[in-house]
């Protein structure tokens, strides 16, 4: 395969658009998600339009055995990835005291544990080949506490901290680690998180998943440490490092409320 890139959560949103960007750049792809029909449709589209090879794998990455089986399968296929893109994740807009624990536990497993586990599985191979990229998709949420999306915001803070740390460890290896931090984006996230009526997603000129994906790919290729999409989001992340945490929580709380 030609500089293959593994992308998790590739059946929709930013992951779907990242697959299209990577294929346009000539990369073969290995895509994993739960919705096999969407993966197969994307495979057919990219192989026809871009002439790349696309392998798909249906799996639920909240399950540790599935993650190990996926890794073992890529090994038996002889895949030595050029990059790993940990994109899979979701949120749930609800007061924490009223939250469905099963859903929040799955969120923790996917947003944090799966991302960390897959990085651990593939990173030694990237280091051994002396080149490679890791792109972990976080969020602007990583910079502040988020009432009514408390667990989601906390998982993205973990992704940012974890990726920044391993990026430092990887200096001089030829491998880089990038955290992509988009703000509100047109995607299926709002519907899955039951957040489509929140003020956060009522802004005008919200960037598309395609725009964020193109930005994220470019940042990954540059080996950029933290990639925050959009000037306003960059300013907000800068301000978030200086305001008291309780003020940030109040601001986020207002943004999570219905329009």
Q: What string of DSSP letters covers 134-180?
A: EEEE--GGGGS--TTSHHHHHHHHHHHHHHHHHHHHTTTTTEEEEEE
Tokens 């999306």 map to which residue?
Answer: 149
**Which one is catalytic: 57, 122, 148, 152?**
152
Quick check: 126 and 132 in contact, CB under 8 A? yes
CB 130 within 8 A of CB 174: yes
H or E stretch covering 107:
helix 101-108
What are the CA-CA distances from residue 56 to residues 38, 74, 200 (Å)? Answer: 10, 10, 34
Across-strand partners of 8? 32
Is residue 82 among the annotated active site residues?
no
Assess contact for 147 and 256: CB atoms under 8 A. yes
Residues belonging to the active site? 152
């Amino acid at each position: 395969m030609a500089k293959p890139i593994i992308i998790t959560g590739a059946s929709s949103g930013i992951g779907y658009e990242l697959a299209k960007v990577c294929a346009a750049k000539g990369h073969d792809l290995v895509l994993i998600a739960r919705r096999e029909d969407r993966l197969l449709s994307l495979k057919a589209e990219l192989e026809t339009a871009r002439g790349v090879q696309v392998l798909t794998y249906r799996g639920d990455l909240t399950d540790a055995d599935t993650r190990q089986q996926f890794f073992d399968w890529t090994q038996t296929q002889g895949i030595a990835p050029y990059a790993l893109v940990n994109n899979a994740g979701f949120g749930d807009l609800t007061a924490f005291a009223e939250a469905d624990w099963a859903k929040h536990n799955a969120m923790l497993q996917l947003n944090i544990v799966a991302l960390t586990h897959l990085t651990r599985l593939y990173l030694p191979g990237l280091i051994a080949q002396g080149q490679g990229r890791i792109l972990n998709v976080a969020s602007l949420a990583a910079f502040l506490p988020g009432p009514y999306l408390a667990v989601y915001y906390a998982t993205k803070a973990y992704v940012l901290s974890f990726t920044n740390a391993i990026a430092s460890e990887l200096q001089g290896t030829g491998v880089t680690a990038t955290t992509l931090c988009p703000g509100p984006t047109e995607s299926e996230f709002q519907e899955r998180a039951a957040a489509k009526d929140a003020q956060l997603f009522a802004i005008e000129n919200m960037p598309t998943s395609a725009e964020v994906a193109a930005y994220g790919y470019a940042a990954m290729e540059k080996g950029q440490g933290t990639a925050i999409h959009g000037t306003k989001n960059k300013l907000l992340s800068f301000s978030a490092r200086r305001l008291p945490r309780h003020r940030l929580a109040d601001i986020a709380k207002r943004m999570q409320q219905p329009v």
